[in-house]
Amino acid sequence: MKTIFLTTFDMVQIRNFLRTEFYDIMRHAPIRVVLFVPRAHTEYYRKEFGAPNIIIEGVDQPRRTRVQFFLLQAAQVALRTDSVWSYYVQRARALGNWKRYLYYLVAYTLLANRIGHRILRAAFSLAFSGRFLGPYFETYRPSLVFATNITAPFDHALVLEAKRRGIRTVGAVKSWDTMSMKGYLDIRTDVLLAQNHVQEREARDFHYVRTPVIVTGNPRLDILLDDKGIESRDAFFARMGLDPSKKVIFYFPAAKFINPFSDELLEDLDAMIGSGEIASHAQIFVTPRPKYESDIEGIRKLQHTVLYLPEGSLRGGAQEWERYSVEDMYLLKNCVHHADVVINATSSISVEAACMDRPVITTDYDLAPVDYWLSVRVRHTDEHFRTLLEMGGVAVAHSRAELIHLIRSYLADPSLDHEGRMRTLQQQNAFPDPHAARRIAKAILRELDNS
């Protein structure tokens, strides 16, 4: 029986792999899977994902030396992209962090090119090691290593040790902004799995990847594209406390580093309904994001906004990320499905709304003066979001007046921009079906057969 090493260290990896068809295929395949997880959450993983052929190994992230820390910081800005320039270099300057700004500026100038990438790869091969994982390799004798987050330090170590031992490796792109914003891919796998052709192109153009790239589709969209888990409108509205006689504006709060006025924007939206600028027959619906804290008490005070706090894992915002359950995923699906309009600020919810053919608006204006490099406006220049906007499926509100106009237009005619949303689905998922996780599993099993 052949063995695969697999990593899952955060919520996104759970959502993309363990809560999808990928896990079911691995669980029933005639193979052994060793799943590396955070040691502190080992028992949770064993309870949720343990199986006769799936072994859960809790491990600690390796402590970084000073040299390793500086190399990781350098790799973070070693991409010649607008995203890296604005989010790391110019943001550090705008925050007055001059030491970091100068370090980023020098690293970006010297290393964001082919020669710089070669220097980084050589430096990483000398400074980093996966030898501390040697006992696991000796015990389980893996035939394949699957790094589900190619930019994570533990995945780096696992791939390095696999390469040292001549074991085949596969890496996966974690998210839509990984290839343009999350740093240079300093460790290369034998095969790279991309979610769409945009990421495939970015791997070639930004990271100079020359090994095979397999496009699989985006596993996070599988659950949105299938026909399961949709509640009736009456049942969903009753469970959420929504008024069935009113239209629903689903507001997706942004982190402060994306939109520093996310809370204020929600207050203004609530005021728009109160003043009749939008429509008196509308209501705003908000449920906290898994990763970020929300101003729960402030939201409760709003007159035209309905707040829903899920039981357990997502209550109040950033808590218990590892408990991103199937129920949480279906909650998001129903929130989008039953929305008449979705409003956010450069979030991936734009992708999910467009793929479910729901009108979606991103806000591209600040509610108060702020440095451009700290504003929501600069995030609309990031490659991953700029590419998304080119499809015409996500509307951009450049002002308060434009936001009101867009909301009123979509409430009156939700079919507006339907064609753009279908182009968005094709761009972001590459396939018009809910089987990305299945394609990933088949690619892994194929590589395992060839190992």
pLDDT digits (tens, 9 = 90+) for 353-406: 998 999 999 999 999 999 999 999 999 999 999 999 999 999 999 999 999 999
d(CA 268, CA 266): 5
pLDDT digits (tens, 9 = 90+) for 260-308: 999 999 999 999 999 999 987 899 999 876 666 677 888 899 999 999 9
Q: Is the pLDDT of residue 315 over 60?
A: no
Closest CA to 82 of 385, 389, 362: 385
User: DSSP 3-state assignment of 383?
Assistant: helix
Q: Using N-to-C axis directions, what is the helix angle for 436-450 and 21-28, rounded to 10°? A: 40
Q: Is the pLDDT of residue 344 over 60?
A: yes
Q: Is the pLDDT of residue 157 over 80?
A: yes
Which residues 6+ apart lie within 8 Å of 449 measured at CB? none
What the chain holds in terms of domains, given with CATH numbers, is 3-62+130-221+434-450 (3.40.50.2000), 66-116 (no CATH), 227-429 (3.40.50.2000)
Q: What is the pTM assigned to this prediction? A: 0.92
The pLDDT confidence band at residue 313, using thresholds 50, 70 and 90, is: very low
pLDDT digits (tens, 9 = 90+) for 160-208: 999 999 999 999 999 999 999 998 988 889 999 999 999 999 999 999 9
d(CA 300, CA 298): 5
User: What does the pLDDT read at residue 103?
Assistant: 96
What's the average model confidence in pLDDT over 32-56?
Answer: 94
The pLDDT confidence band at residue 311, using thresholds 50, 70 and 90, is: low
Q: Is the pLDDT of residue 318 over 60?
A: no
Q: Is the pLDDT of residue 12 over 90?
A: no
User: Strands 247-251 and 213-215, how do they pair?
Assistant: unpaired
Mean pLDDT of the chain: 92
Which is higher by pLDDT, 407 or 450? Answer: 407
pLDDT digits (tens, 9 = 90+) for 402-416: 999 999 999 999 999
Assess contact for 286 and 253: CB atoms under 8 A: yes
User: What does the pLDDT read at residue 151?
Assistant: 87
